[in-house]
Amino acid sequence: MKKVYVVGTCDTKADELRYVRDLVVGDGVPAVLVDVGTRDAFGGADVSAREVASFHDGGADAVLGGDDRGASVGAMAEALTSYLTTRDDIAGVVGLGGSGNTALVTQAMRALPVGLPKLMVSTVASGNVAPYVGASDSAMMYSVVDIAGLNRISRTVLANAAHAIAGMAAAEPADTSDEKPGIGLTMFGVTTECVNQLRERMAASHECYVFHATGTGGRSMEKLVDEGLIGGALDVTTTEVADFLVGGVFPCTDDRFGAIARTGVPYVGSCGALDMVNFGARETVPERFRDRNLYVHNLQVTLMRTTVEENRRIGEWIAERLNRCGGPVRFLIPEGGVSAIDAPGMPFHDPDADAALFETLEASLEQTAKRRLIHVPHHINDPEFADAVVAHYREIAGESR
């Protein structure tokens, strides 16, 4: 029978961890206490720190007993990730901790499949949790008081966490056996019209998963591709690359397009919103960019038009990543503009900058029978462009038009 894994450092939080484990068991769900302390001094866990540490590439001695606590915690995070990802009896994972233990446990949580219940009770959960959650579906619960002893407040919060993970673990998973194949689509506000049209055209044959291209969105889509939950992509909004290369607030990572290369799924991409780099409120725009073409999208989002040189860099970077893909790839060039504000009379209309992007992609993409660059004489939000995206996807996916 599958179990809830209750994870934390037993040398400092044994009472709290046992309290959660016992409540989960009391709800009728099997649970095990997993120690991830780096001193291996606690003997009351169901899974000892040494057993977890043995899953490190360098063995348990590479994790336990070191003088550098930061290095030991990092090594234990790697060991816990290897340990949990090799288990086939996990019904859910709940972790308890401060900043160090949160970083340790959530690293392993991010490697677990989407849909597997994951809950982290943390002293840092009321702040910026993006580094801990990443592209996963982990839930973060603020502990209110530090996890340093059981008291009236901590008992209530931890009991809520225990009952929550028990409920998630005990629930029957949704039956997805009759659902249509999944396809990923990337969208930004300035490409919404395009993506809405794609959804309408694909809805009869596919379940469409739309990802907001805010840095995490692209990573989430590719995580699901890696996990086999998405069998293809209409990646029309690759704007995260611009933020990554120029320094915006919605960047991808160096592994953007990596899942496409690893899996070989059918892929149709485009240049959506590569005319812009994203920042916060106008006053947060770095000083070196203050004299650029800026557009206040709303009070919290300021956009900066990409230049000719930046677009050359972007084109080279995307082409280099796509050249690694062995599966069917079509990358479409919307010659009429790449976003809602990149059109004649709009604030980011810059034919020279667009031309630099398009020409660099043309020069840098190594075209083969499977990998092709397609010029489309329309704006990205035009119906004709959506028609072209769908037609090329159905062609490379071996589907009927």
Query: What integer is the mean pLDDT of 263-268?
Result: 97
- Is 9:44 a contact under the CB 8 Å cutoff? no
Confidence bin at 38 (pLDDT 50/70/90): confident
Which stretch of 71-85, 175-189, 258-272, 281-295 has the lowest confidence by average pLDDT?
175-189
- Is 224:182 a contact under the CB 8 Å cutoff? yes
Which stretch of 54-68, 189-203, 241-255 has the lowest confidence by average pLDDT?
54-68
Half-sphere exposure of 213 (CA within 13 A, CB side): 31
User: Chain-wide mean pLDDT for the chain?
Assistant: 94
- Is 274:311 a contact under the CB 8 Å cutoff? yes
- Indicate whether 66 pLDDT > 90: no
Residue range 317-335, pLDDT digits in tens: 999 999 999 999 999 999 9
Query: What integer is the mean pLDDT of 78-91?
Result: 97
Q: What is the pLDDT of residue 174?
A: 72
% of the chain beyond a pLDDT of 70: 98
- Indicate whether 396 pLDDT > 70: yes
- Indicate whether 273 pLDDT > 90: yes
3 state SS of 373: strand
Burial (CB < 10 A; 0-12, 13-18, 19+), residue 151, is: exposed
Complete domains list, the chain, with CATH: 3-170 (3.40.50.12020), 182-396 (3.40.50.12030)
Q: What is the pLDDT of residue 400?
A: 37
For the chain, helix (H) and strand (E) counts, in that order, are 13, 14
Q: What is the pLDDT of residue 178?
A: 65
- Indicate whether 399 pLDDT > 80: no
